[in-house]
Amino acid sequence: MAMLPDSVRVYLVGGAVRDTLLGLPPGDRDFVVVGASVEQMRDAGYRQVGRDFPVFLHPDTGEEHALARTERKSGRGYTGFVVHADPSVTLEDDLRRRDFTINAIARAEDGTLVDPFDGVRDLDARVLRHVGDAFVEDPLRVLRAARFMARFAPLGFTVAPDTLTLMRQMADGGELATLVPERVWQELAKALRSASPAAFLRTLRQAGALRVVLPEVDALYGVPQRAEYHPEIDTGLHQELVCDMAARLAPGDDLVGFAALCHDLGKALTPADALPRHVMHEQRGVAPVVALCERLKVPAEHRDLAVLCCREHLNVHRIDELKDATVHDLVARCDGFRKPARIDRLATVCEADARGRAGLQDAAYAQAATLRRLHAAALAVRGDAIAAQGVSGPAFGEALRRARIAAIAAARG
C-alpha cells in the first residue's frame, strides 16, 4: 500500500475540534486532506465513498477523509451547488465554505490550530456566528443554527445579531420552502435529543422560520391559558418549558421529545370566545399532529406516540379519578399490552407537561408512578392461565379484560 506524498497535509476539522475545545466528548472525527488528488488517495488505500464530492475512508481506522473543496451556488435550495476539489484548493478555501466559525477550526497533525475565521474567539465568547456571506446560499443552515442552539444554549451560547439577520432574510425569501421533509425531520430529531429543544424553537421563531418549518407549533404562541394552571399563561412558552422538561426527564429520547412537542397542538384551535379555557383541546390536537407528521414524513413510531399522548394526556393527569376499567381501556387504546414501552413514555410526556410550567419544574407528579404501577399490574396477568381453564374465542378476551381490571383495582391499594 502506497503512502500519501509528503506534500499532502491532513487536518482534523469540524465538530471534533470544536467539542474538544469546549471540553465536551468529541464525536466522530472528520478530516480534510489538502494537496492530494483522487488517484493519490486511492493509491494509498483509501476507499472512495462520496458521490457528490471526493470523500474517502481511511484504510485502517475507517474515518472519513475528504479532499479540500470549494462550493459555488448553482440553483435554489441546499442541493444547488457545484463542488470543486483538486490539489490546489487550500485549507482556508475549504474552511471558508463552512457554516459557522466554531465549525471552521482545523487541527494539524502536530496539534497546531488553524483558525482563519476566529472560531476560537467565538467559542470563548459563546457566540454562534456565520463564516461569510455564502451562509445565505444554504437554507438548511437556518435549521442547523437552531439545532446548535438546542445543544449549546445551556453553555451560554447566543446567535450573533448579524447571523440572525441573515437567517431572517432567508426565511423571508422563501428559501426554506426548498428543504425536503427528511432533512427538516433530521434536524428536528437532533434538536429533540439535545439538552434544550426550547432553544431550537426560540431561535427559529426569532428568525421568522418557525412559522415556515413548524406552523402548528408557531400557532401556539400568543394563545392564553388559565393562569391558575399555567402561570406562564402563553401556550408557546408552556410548550418551550415542556420540551426542555422532556429533555431533562428522558435525555436523548426523541420519541418522548416529539410527543412532548405535539401534545398541546389543539390549543391553537380553541375558539377565541372560549379562551383561556381549552375544552376538548386533546381531541382537536390529533388532526394537526397527523398533518405535521405527514408533511415531515415523521417515522410511524414517533407519530403514533405523539397522537396517543395528545389524545390521552388529560386522562393521565386525572388517573386517580378514573375507574379501573377506564384505566384498562386507556392502556388498551395505546396498545400498551403489546407495546409496554409506550405507557412508560406516555407517563414521561405527561410528567413533562405537568412540570413544564413556570415555577412548577420541581413539583411532584405522582400520576406517572401510578400509571406505571397500574400498567405493570395489568401486564402481569397471564393469558395462558386463562386459556388453561378452557376459555377461548370472544370469551377469552373478555375474561382477560376482567382479570386485568381486577389486577388494576388490587394495585391501587
Give the mean pLDDT per block of 10 residues along the chain (413 residues).
82 95 91 93 90 85 91 55 78 93 96 97 98 91 97 97 96 92 97 98 98 97 94 96 98 98 97 94 97 98 98 98 98 97 98 96 97 97 79 82 95 88
Residue 42: CA atoms inside 13 Å, Cβ hemisphere, count? 7
Quick check: is 193 in a domain?
A: no
Q: Are residues 226 and 354 in the same domain?
A: yes
3-state helix, strand, coil in the chain (%, to 5): 55, 10, 35
- Structural domains in the chain (count): 2
**Cβ-count burial 168-199 (b if 16+ within 10 Å, e if not):** eebbeeebbeebeeeebbebbbbbbbbbbbbb
Quick check: is 373 in a domain?
A: yes
DSSP character for 114? E
Query: Between the CA of residue 103 and those of 67, 91, 302, 356, what are the distances in Å?
Result: 17, 13, 31, 33
Enclosing domain of residue 323:
214-378
Q: What are phi and psi of 330, to 5 degrees?
A: -60, -50
Q: Of the candidates 85, 107, 123, which is a domain's last residue?
A: 123
Quick check: is 248 in a domain?
A: yes
Quick check: is 74 in a domain?
A: yes
What integer pLDDT is reported at residue 10 of this predicted model? 95
Q: Are residues 242 and 350 in the same domain?
A: yes
What integer pLDDT is reported at residue 86 of this predicted model? 82
Quick check: is 23 in a domain?
A: yes
Quick check: is 305 in a domain?
A: yes
| Nearest residue to 85 (alpha-carbon basis) of 77, 93, 76 | 93
Q: Are residues 263 and 363 in the same domain?
A: yes
Q: Of the candidates 123, 147, 178, which is a domain's last residue?
A: 123
Q: Are residues 352 and 252 in the same domain?
A: yes
Q: Of the candidates 123, 138, 160, which is a domain's last residue?
A: 123
What integer pLDDT is reported at residue 82 of this predicted model? 62
Q: Are residues 105 and 230 in the same domain?
A: no
Quick check: is 158 in a domain?
A: no
In angstroms, rounded to a whole number, what is the distance separating the alpha carbons of residues 305 and 341?
10
Query: Between the CA of residue 49 and those of 41, 66, 90, 179, what are the distances in Å?
Result: 12, 10, 22, 24
- Tell the burial category of 11 from Cβ atoms under 10 Å away from its Cβ (0-12, 13-18, 19+): buried
Instruction: Give the helix ranges, DSSP H, for 113-160.
Output: 119-125, 140-152
Q: Are residues 248 and 372 in the same domain?
A: yes
CATH number of domain containing 63: 3.30.460.10
What integer pLDDT is reported at residue 397 of this predicted model? 83
DSSP character for 3? P
Q: Are residues 101 and 247 in the same domain?
A: no
Quick check: is 6 in a domain?
A: yes
Q: Are residues 368 and 234 in the same domain?
A: yes
